[in-house]
Amino acid sequence: MEDWNVLATSVEGARPVLMAGLRRLGVFRGAGYRNVAIGRVEDVPAFLDAWRDAMAADTILAAAVGRVLPIVRTFRLDEADPAATLLSVVEPLAAEIDGRSFYVRFERRGLRGVLDSSEVERLLGAALWRRIEEAGHTPRVTFDDADVVVAVETLGDRGGVALLDRAVRAAYPFVRVS
C-alpha cells in the first residue's frame, strides 16, 4: 500500500484486535513491523470521530490501541541519502507551522545504524526553524504542549508525516507521539 493516510499501533501482542477494529473503517494492512498497521480512509476527520466512538463502545479495542496518526504525506526514502529525503518532505511544512510553537518527533523503524532518531529530530527541527526565520517570522520550539507536533514515521524505506495540532490531540487522545 503506497497511498496510506493513517498509521496505527497496538500495544504489544494486540495487533489482531487493532486490525479488526481498523478494517471496519477503512482499508488497512500490516506495515511489516510488529504492532504497526497502515491504511487508507476516505475522510480522515470522520475516521477519527468513528475511531473514538468505536473505542468508547469496545473496551477490548480501547485497550489494544497504542496510537493513531493521521498522515498528511507519504514518501520513499532515498537509500543513498535518507536525511535529504526527510528534509525535502519536512521543510515545506514550515508554512503550515508558521507563527505556532512546534517540535519534531521522529520514529524510526528499520534503517538501524543509518538514521539516529535524536539527530534526525534536531536536523529537521533546525531546518524548520531556518525556514520560518527566512519567512520573516520568529520560530518557537516547545516540548510542553506545543501548538503543533511534526511526527515523522519511517517503515523501512517508506515514511509518513503527521501534523498534530493541539486541537486534534485534545479531541482524540489516541492521536499522540511516542
Question: Tens of pLDDT along 84-120?
Answer: 999 999 999 999 998 899 999 999 997 777 788 899 9
Grid coordinates 515514511 are at which residue?
A: 159
Residue in 11, 13, 50, 9 with CA at minimum distance from that of residue 28: 9
pTM of the model: 0.93
Tally the residues of the chain. 178
34 within 8 A of 110, measured Cβ to Cβ: no
Return d(Cα 176, Cα 26) in angstroms, integer. Answer: 20
Looking at residue 3, what is its pLDDT? 86
Going by pLDDT thresholds of 50, 70 and 90, the confidence category of residue 1 is low
Looking at residue 94, what is its pLDDT? 95
Return d(Cα 39, Cα 123) in angstroms, integer. Answer: 28
Return d(Cα 93, Cα 164) in angstroms, integer. Answer: 12
Residue-averaged pLDDT of the chain? 94
Listed in sequence order, the residues at least 6 apart from 122 whose beta carbon sits closer than 8 Å to its beta carbon are none
Looking at residue 115, what is its pLDDT? 83
Q: How far is CA 130 from the centre of its chain?
A: 22
21 within 8 A of 59, measured Cβ to Cβ: no
Looking at residue 111, what is its pLDDT? 74
On the 0-12 / 13-18 / 19+ scale of CB atoms within 10 A, 153 is buried
Tell me how far CA of residue 84 lies from CA of 27, 117, 121, 149, in angstroms: 31, 15, 13, 20
Which of 36-40, 98-102, 165-169, 173-177 has the weakest average pLDDT? 98-102
